[in-house]
Structure 1
Amino acid sequence: MGSRVFRITVRGSFAGLTAEQRAELLADAPRHDVLFAAFTPEGHLSYDLAARPFFTFRFQDSGDDEADVLPASQQAEAAAKAWLDSRGYGHTPLTAHAEDLSLAPPGKRQRRAARGSG
């Protein structure tokens, strides 16, 4: 495992679903509710197909330096596409966005801890 943690979101929307595919996704929707969304190495899918056709996969990966974020993003996008394609789900072109957590600004708790006032 690398010293940097990457959080990668891959977004798109379902397109051209059959009635059976739509019913399958709706039946499985509780497992993919955004309330349970998490960044995982295998990727977590969330959507609310009853409201809109959009979906998000959340992946977590790691690398040793900033240059590793691009290959991690490409892998995440390929994994999301493979998951969709293996089930025959039509979709729009996917977009990936990655965040290197080592470059993220510290949160409120981290700033407080750094100051030494808990």
Structure 2
Amino acid sequence: MSTQHTYRVIVRGTWEGLTDAARERLLAEVEEHGLAAMQFTEEGSLTYDRALKHFSFRYVVVSDAEDGEEMASAIAEDRAQTTLGRAGYGHGGLRSTATDMDTMKINYKGRR
């Protein structure tokens, strides 16, 4: 049985080939997907701005530690791809960065 680690993954991409209907839907919901919406969740939180150029998803992924950050990134990219596909949103290639929260070093500052 392998140890499970929790990863925070940011998946980034660019909008491409958006239909007029998709563009209208995204613009109608832009206020719900701004900076205040940035949080790491299993479902992923989508953020973008009115320019509709770039977007990002923030995911929490629990995966086997031996598979590492590469697997967590692949899982998150797959989730993003699925979400975007179901919504009918065109996009370019996805790229991601993952942080293993179980091995992350926390520096506590002493009291002054």
User: Same fold by TM-score, threshold 0.5 exceeded?
Assistant: yes
AA in 2 matched with 1:57: F
CA contact (8 A) 1:66 1:100 kept: no
Q: In angstroms, what is the RMSD of aligned CA positions? A: 2.0
- Percent identical pairs in the alignment equals 35
2: CA distance, partners of 1:55 / 1:18: 16
Which protein is bigger by CA-based radius of gyration?
Answer: 1
Which stretches in structure 2 are left out of the alignment for 5+ residues?
none
Question: Cα deviations across residues 62-105 of structure 1 (Å, max 9, x unaligned)?
Answer: 23525343222111101101111112211011111111123333
AA in 1 matched with 2:10: T
Q: Which has the higher helix share?
A: 1
CA contact (8 A) 2:37 2:45 kept: no
Size of the alignment, in residue pairs?
A: 110
1: CA distance, partners of 2:60 / 2:30: 22
AA in 1 matched with 2:96: A
2: CA distance, partners of 1:77 / 1:64: 17
TM-score w.r.t. length of structure 1: 0.80
Aligned to 1:13: 14
